[in-house]
């Protein structure tokens, strides 16, 4: 029964390790998506800053009302895109955290199963050691009894 339990635990560890590896891969992908989202946000923010600086330079030269209106609308849409990208970054951070927690849980499962195997192996070794000790004790007791009997027979033989 114990060997069968160890085989079952070995299969459970193998499955848990596969799940852990998949969780690790999912975390890596989530981190890549978060980095990509952050880079896109940085690009949008940089573009908005550059556009505003160019506009300020041009506005000093000529600030036609139609151009100002167009610029403000464009900047409003760009601000919306930046806000939307900030939400996308926040969502990617959330997903990364979920993936990190899933990986931690998977690692904990593997560690727990490995600990169960160690405990079972230790218990089996203890039972085996006790069994061997009992056999050694029984053998020693039999030898001692035989020695006593031989000594008793020899004493009886000398007394005659």
- Every domain of the chain and the residues it spans: 2-159
* The two structure tokens encoding residue 154: 């020899």
* The two structure tokens encoding residue 96: 């990364």
Q: State the Cα–Cα distance between residues 112 and 35, nearest whole angstrom.
A: 33
| Residue 39 pLDDT > 80 | yes
- Residues ≥6 apart with Cβ < 8 Å to 131: none
Whole-number mean pLDDT of the chain?
Answer: 92
pLDDT at 63: 72
Contact 20, 103 (CB under 8 A): yes
pLDDT at 1: 57
The model's pTM: 0.72
| Residue 56 pLDDT > 90 | no
pLDDT at 159: 74
Q: Name the CATH architecture for the domain at 2-159.
A: Orthogonal Bundle (1.10)
The residue-averaged pLDDT of 150-154 equals 84
Contact 16, 106 (CB under 8 A): yes
Angle at alpha carbon of residue 28, lines to 32 and 111, rounded to 5°: 160
């Amino acid at each position: 029964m114990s060997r069968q339990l160890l085989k079952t635990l070995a299969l459970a560890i193998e499955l848990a390790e596969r799940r852990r590896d998949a969780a690790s891969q999912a975390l890596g992908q989530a981190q890549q998506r978060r980095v990509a989202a952050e880079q896109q946000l940085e690009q949008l923010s940089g573009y908005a800053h550059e556009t505003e600086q160019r506009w300020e330079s041009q506005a000093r030269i000529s600030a036609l009302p139609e151009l100002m209106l167009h610029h403000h609308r464009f900047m409003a849409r760009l601000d919306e895109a930046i806000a939307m990208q900030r939400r996308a970054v926040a969502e990617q951070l959330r997903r990364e955290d979920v993936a990190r927690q899933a990986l931690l849980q998977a690692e904990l499962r593997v560690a727990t199963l490995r600990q169960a195997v160690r405990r079972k192996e230790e218990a089996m070794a203890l039972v085996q050691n006790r069994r061997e000790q009992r056999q050694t004790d029984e053998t020693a007791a039999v030898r001692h009894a035989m020695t006593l009997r031989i000594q008793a027979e020899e004493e009886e033989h000398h007394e005659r």
